[in-house]
Structure 1
Amino acid sequence: MPNWTVASETGRLAEVLVCPPDHYRWLPTNAVARRSLGAGRQPGRAALAAQHAELCDALARAGATVHRLPPQPHLPYMAYTRDPVVVTHRGPVLCQLERPQRRGEYAHHLEWHQAQGSAMWRLSSAGTLEGGDVHILRPGLAVVGASGGRTDRAGAEQFAGWLRAEGWEVRIEPFDEHFLHLDLLFCMAAPGLAVACTEALPDDFLAWLRARAIRVLPTTYREAMALAGNILSLGAGRVVSARASARLNAALRAEGLEVLDPDLSLFAAGGGGPHCLTCPLRREEPDAG
């Protein structure tokens, strides 16, 4: 049985799950995708495959084992593997997706985990819960976004309760569903360093982060809606950030981080970036060797 656990968003990424975009297309399920669809076009299959391959190459170059979930033709947003399952310090949690177009994804994630011998630690059963709203800041500290549009209060409280029973501090952060998931507004970059849309996040949340020694690199509303802040920490001083996020990437490099910057513009136009496109299965914390 694999030992798949994640105790923070910034531990060294050792194993990760992606899904090839064989059937990916933009769906009118979020503000970003609706804007893209307004132009009357869809992304090409070859271009999507090339961009996804860039992402997978970056993950592999950073030393992560890349697992692939078989795509299904009736579930075009399976490429965003972040949402159906969240891996915690105790193992995977099966989420409950809100959008009808995505609800069937749970079955294929569950089957895949079962085939690998991976057991779910918990199953979401109250309200809705989506992985893009769950942020494990460091061991013992997490925040769960609850817009009501994807993760609702009941789903967030159930998940938070499981972690609190383990002695964790968990904040539930309300935000406007216009922003899809919390990871459009906030992502960890490195231990003690986050990227956050300070124009949209409330002052009390930013103060809460400061009180817990988490600094913020700010993004603007425009950058957030272009998925600039939707980054993936690889641990060990590395981060994946989309090539189009030039200003943010310069700021990350100024912090001493190595930035791997694949072109993910077609996925960003559908409402997702490197954080959305990956489900970390195992991370190694520094003190774990």
Structure 2
Amino acid sequence: MTELPPRFRVASETGRLREVLLCPPDHYRWIPTNSIVRRTLAEGAQAPAPHHLAAQHGELVDALRQAGVTVHLIRPEPHLPYMAYTRDSVVVTHRGPVLCQLERPQRRGEYAPLLDWHGEQGSAFWRKSSVGTLEGGDIHIIRNGLAVIGASGGRTDEAGAAQFADWLRGEGWEVRVEPFDEHFLHLDVLFCMAAPGLAVACEDVLDPGFLAWLRVHGIRTIPVPYRDAMALGCNILAVGGDRVISARGSAGVNAALRAEGLEVLDPALSLFTQGGGGPHCLTCPLLRDD
């Protein structure tokens, strides 16, 4: 009997994005659970107003739709303020969704609405994380057969990364588990794919061995300074077709991406980047072209 393909599948970070899952920021607020938002609060920034959050999130939705992406919205839960960062709870692979295991107590409950939503969509989970911790912001499916998983020991630990890596290796993939300092929250604060063979990377921080590994696999990097990386400059979303979504505040990165011939869609997202997440964090790709 022929096995049916999964409802949702993603085999790269750069294939044409067809469907994506977002969560409206109805209950979003800054909570001091990462170094970025702690700095924001220490600098005396005012808590974001709900209508301003909704307006910025709406710009992201508009940018995705402009790129021809179907946007799905999951209902936000009042007790889960960071549910807006849909990247972390579930990561979709070439075999379908994988349920992650979030590290922060304030976020662990996100698994429940995601299980329900995928069930309603007829989207069966391929795997469920059951060892250590694993978060989607640390998982980068570079291209079909090649992936890197960040393991800071914080949001994703070595055990969680190893379990996910073993699942992909069992499929014949090459997977690198990359350690980094948990100060940087997730690997997507330091690194994201922009287009096939092109990434943005905080070269000042990332291990030279990782940068060399990327070059061996034919991936060039646009360098992003530490200060810009901590403002979520590396946190971009490739949507395929030589288009990328990057926050409007990332002026230097956006100029460099445009110099590479990419079209940059740049919604204003400062209220989310100040909380520790940009376009990559705010989106869970569900379906990309192979």
TM-score band w.r.t. shorter chain: over 0.9
8 Å contact 2:6–2:95 — kept in the other structure?
Answer: no
1:28 deviates by 0.5
Q: How does 1:1-289 map to 2 (within 5 A)?
A: 3-38=7-42, 39=44, 41-285=46-290
Question: Under a length normalisation based on structure 2, what TM-score does the superposition of the two structures give?
Answer: 0.97
CA distance in 2, matches of 1:60, 1:3: 20
CA distance in 1, matches of 2:102, 2:7: 25
CA distance in 1, matches of 2:135, 2:6: 23
CA distance in 2, matches of 1:40, 1:258: 32
Stretches of structure 2 that go unaligned for 5 or more consecutive residues are none
CA distance in 2, matches of 1:107, 1:35: 30
CA distance in 2, matches of 1:220, 1:30: 20
8 Å contact 2:6–2:96 — kept in the other structure?
Answer: no
Q: Which amino acid aligns with 1:90?
A: R
Cα RMSD between the aligned structures? 0.9
1:36 deviates by 1.4
CA distance in 1, matches of 2:264, 2:288: 18
1:40 deviates by 5.6
Q: Which amino acid aligns with 2:160?
A: G
CA distance in 2, matches of 1:257, 1:197: 19
Q: Which amino acid aligns with 2:204?
A: E
| Partner secondary structure for residue 104 of structure 1 | helix
Spell out, residue by residue over 1:130-166, the C-alpha distance to the aligned partner (whole angstroms, 9 max, x if none). Answer: 0000000000000000001100000000000000000
1:2 deviates by 6.2
Q: Which amino acid aligns with 1:179?
A: F
Displacement over 2 Å in runs of 4+: none
8 Å contact 1:19–1:70 — kept in the other structure?
Answer: yes
1:41 deviates by 2.6
| Partner secondary structure for residue 18 of structure 2 | strand
1:273 deviates by 0.1
Spell out, residue by residue over 1:216-271, the C-alpha distance to the aligned partner (whole angstroms, 9 max, x if none). Answer: 00001100100011000001100000001111101100101000000000000000
8 Å contact 1:2–1:117 — kept in the other structure?
Answer: no
Number of residue pairs aligned between Structure 1 and Structure 2? 285
CA distance in 1, matches of 2:207, 2:98: 28
8 Å contact 1:2–1:116 — kept in the other structure?
Answer: no
Question: Under a length normalisation based on structure 1, what TM-score does the superposition of the two structures give?
Answer: 0.97
8 Å contact 1:14–1:283 — kept in the other structure?
Answer: yes
CA distance in 2, matches of 1:178, 1:161: 26
8 Å contact 2:17–2:240 — kept in the other structure?
Answer: yes
